[in-house]
């Protein structure tokens, strides 16, 4: 992969990330503007982050399948002309495909490990009101 393509992919990923954060802040600003407080803003951000996690999961499956098909095509190209395509390229693509297809189960396992089965948003406790 050449340098200009790598830079374009990094810039595209950064732009998508900034767009998602901007949409998240815009949506979180609605409860804050209506006077509901910072807790409502945190709840809105938490709700939007679950949608971003779903987007990452779906994108991971699609990209994993794409890398898998690309690896098969590169294996065929290596078989046809071994001097043009190094064997390391399709093997690397195959490992990337496996990693991308495995990411959703890592999300689920990590979430259960960090937050347990009863993960919920943080709240205030131990404070008595006047």
The answer to whether residues 79 and 90 touch, using CB atoms and an 8 Å cutoff, is no
For residue 62, what are the CA distances in angstroms to 19, 52, 65, 106, 116? 21, 15, 5, 16, 28
Of all residues in the chain, what percent are helix, strand and coil, respectively (each to 5)?
Answer: 80, 0, 20
Q: Give CA–CA dist 127/130, Å, rounded.
A: 10
pTM, two decimals, is 0.55
pLDDT digits (tens, 9 = 90+) for 101-123: 888 888 777 777 777 765 555 54
Eight-state DSSP code of residue 55: H
SS3 for 105? helix
pLDDT digits (tens, 9 = 90+) for 84-93: 889 999 999 9
pLDDT digits (tens, 9 = 90+) for 10-53: 666 666 665 656 655 555 555 445 556 677 777 777 777 777 77
Q: Does 129 or 21 have the greater pLDDT score?
A: 21
Q: What is the sign, positive or negative, of the torsion defined by CA atoms of 103, 63, 21, 51?
A: negative
Q: Give CA–CA dist 98/92, Å, rounded.
A: 10
């Amino acid at each position: 992969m050449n340098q200009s393509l790598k830079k374009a992919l990094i810039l595209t990923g950064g732009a998508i990330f900034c767009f998602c954060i901007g949409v998240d802040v815009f949506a979180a600003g609605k409860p804050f503007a209506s006077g509901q407080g910072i807790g409502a803003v945190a709840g809105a951000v938490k709700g939007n982050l679950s949608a971003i996690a779903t987007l990452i999961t779906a994108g991971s499956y699609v990209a994993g399948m794409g890398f898998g098909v690309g690896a098969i095509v590169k294996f065929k190209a290596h078989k046809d002309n071994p001097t043009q395509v190094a064997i390391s390229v399709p093997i690397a693509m195959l490992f990337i495909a496996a990693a991308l297809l495995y990411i959703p189960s890592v999300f689920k396992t990590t979430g259960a490990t960090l937050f347990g089965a009863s993960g919920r948003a943080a709240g205030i406790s131990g404070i008595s009101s006047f």
